[in-house]
Chains A and B, each alone.
Chain A
């Protein structure tokens, strides 16, 4: 006969309330684990998806995900000339926050190296990839921009021609893909007045030197488009992505590139590790700490409830001892209650998570290995939590039955 279940049935209300509480705590523990997994997934998603073999970034920096990396766009052409390189693309990525219909709209502006890269690798849920070099974009559906939407960024309108899903940046903001030149136009957009003032300042500087006064043509060039001035080459991209030709040796290509003093080269794996050891590591420690705390709290709650359930049963346990029940019967009663509470809470957490986690603002990824390890933890804490009640039960004297 199972005493634990019968006692629980008798105390159904208290047991149910506690289990719901434990379930919620465990759901948070589970969710935090899922948030961490989601964080890693989202952080490495882009690095994985763009499918580069090597990342060329600004010299002595850790790359665009760790800090600001600026290299000239023409580095792409230098890279292409290295033997073994099949393809080199410019990588431009930055986060912007604008207002749309009164609500903040945060997106990661991601440049595609048009015309080689039209975003064909981006998994589309509807629409198409880019077909022209300007004014088109592919948006992640988390940005809530339906197909055909036109948004103004900088001085231009951009139309959403394709929708993707689950493509977010390291901060969890949806990605929007533009051609590199559009992405840079958005990034370096300046008000007309700023440009006019800059040109006036340039004119003044050029007029102040001999060459400006002697060469009127030079003056004309100086006040024209900044991109038209060789010395002002402003075309700054974050990185250049290199794909190797079939059969090319990564180490050989890498060693060649590393002889260039103005850049640093990382493999995709290294780029990912830099990303994870930097921003994600702190989040991991933070979430880990919270989870540990919540598990300790769950243990204490289970222990206290099991203990009070035991206190309520002092006479019954004394009676069991009186009629000669062996200790395993009594220990089993308490231990099973703790385990039932823990496991019912776990089941509730799992069930609740199915509904709650998809509604979280950031991706929550519940892996089955995390589920298994949490189940093991729940069993362990339930056993620990039962010790207090068992300790109490073992000290009950059978003649307590007679105490009025």
Chain B
């Protein structure tokens, strides 16, 4: 496994629209996430959290700035330096506010497809998807369509899919917003466990102040700028 940080973002700037409708969503943001750490991102609505996250996810190219994933420069301003889709497939996992499962696939198939698009043979993909569902405690619902699952179960299936290809970096945008506080906490703790056990970098955008203790570091976003919050805890990343 490489020792490069999971992701390095340098001087990210994002301007939506142009002329009179111009919105500077991010003025100058830099951050770095190492493998094996879970980082929380907080900030008021409209501060630019999702914009940063989607830029890191390589689906919302920035106006300027550089995004380096696993030591490889992927985005230089709006220009892709690699095949972004292939890069996402290999290095990234995603979880969003609403589970974003494919409605016509079962829980198992939703995980399996992520493995198959990464060239795993169907049989092997199926076996691994079942393991992942087991890891997240939802293997009993493997044959159900998303509509038959509870919000928490859906979220856990989405997490299983994000984990499928052993990504370098997992990006989650308000993954617990649709869950009650107990479930929300469970999902957050799951993310922490994944970061620490599977040596993935994890970035979670959240509004939920009750679960902040799971994070190794916390970033505050305000007016398109990132501030690292001082956390007074003893070596959380070394747990």
Contact = CB atoms under 8 A, between A and B. Distances in A.
A374 interface: no
Interface in B112-165: 112-114, 116-118, 122, 125, 145, 161
Interface residues of B, number: 31
A319 B157 CA distance: 14
Contacts of A326: 85, 117
A379 interface: no
Contact of B59 (A1, A7, A316, A399): A399
A399 B89 CA distance: 15
Contact of B86 (A10, A324, A398, A402): A324
B175 to A, nearest CB: 13
A298 B90 CA distance: 42
Contact of A399 (B60, B87, B90): B60
Nearest to B112: A1
Contact of B117 (A6, A10, A323, A401): A323
Contacts of A10: 103-104, 145
A374 to B, nearest CB: 31
A283 B151 CA distance: 63
Nearest to B122: A1
B216 interface: no
A382 B117 CA distance: 25
Interface size of A as a range: 20 to 34
Count chain B CB atoms within 10 A of each CB in A1, A321, A326 and give the residue with the most.
Answer: A1
B173 interface: yes
Contacts of B145: 10
Contacts of B60: 399
A322 B104 contact: no
Contacts of A402: 50, 54, 96, 173
A329 interface: yes
User: Majority SS of interface residues in chain A?
Assistant: helix
Interface string A311-337: 000011001111111100100000000
Contacts of A320: 102, 113, 117
A145 to B, nearest CB: 60
Contacts of B117: 320, 323-326, 329
Nearest to B61: A399
Interface in B93-108: 94, 96, 100, 102-105
Interface of A: 1, 3, 6-7, 9-11, 315-316, 319-326, 329, 397-399, 401-402
30 contacts: A1-B112, A1-B113, A1-B116, A1-B122, A3-B105, A3-B113, A6-B105, A10-B145, A11-B104, A315-B100, A316-B102, A316-B103, A319-B102, A320-B117, A322-B57, A322-B59, A322-B94, A323-B161, A324-B85, A324-B87, A324-B92, A325-B85, A325-B113, A326-B117, A397-B59, A399-B54, A399-B59, A401-B100, A402-B54, A402-B173
Given A323-B113, A325-B85, 10 more contacts: A3-B105, A7-B104, A9-B104, A10-B103, A10-B104, A10-B145, A11-B104, A320-B102, A324-B86, A402-B173
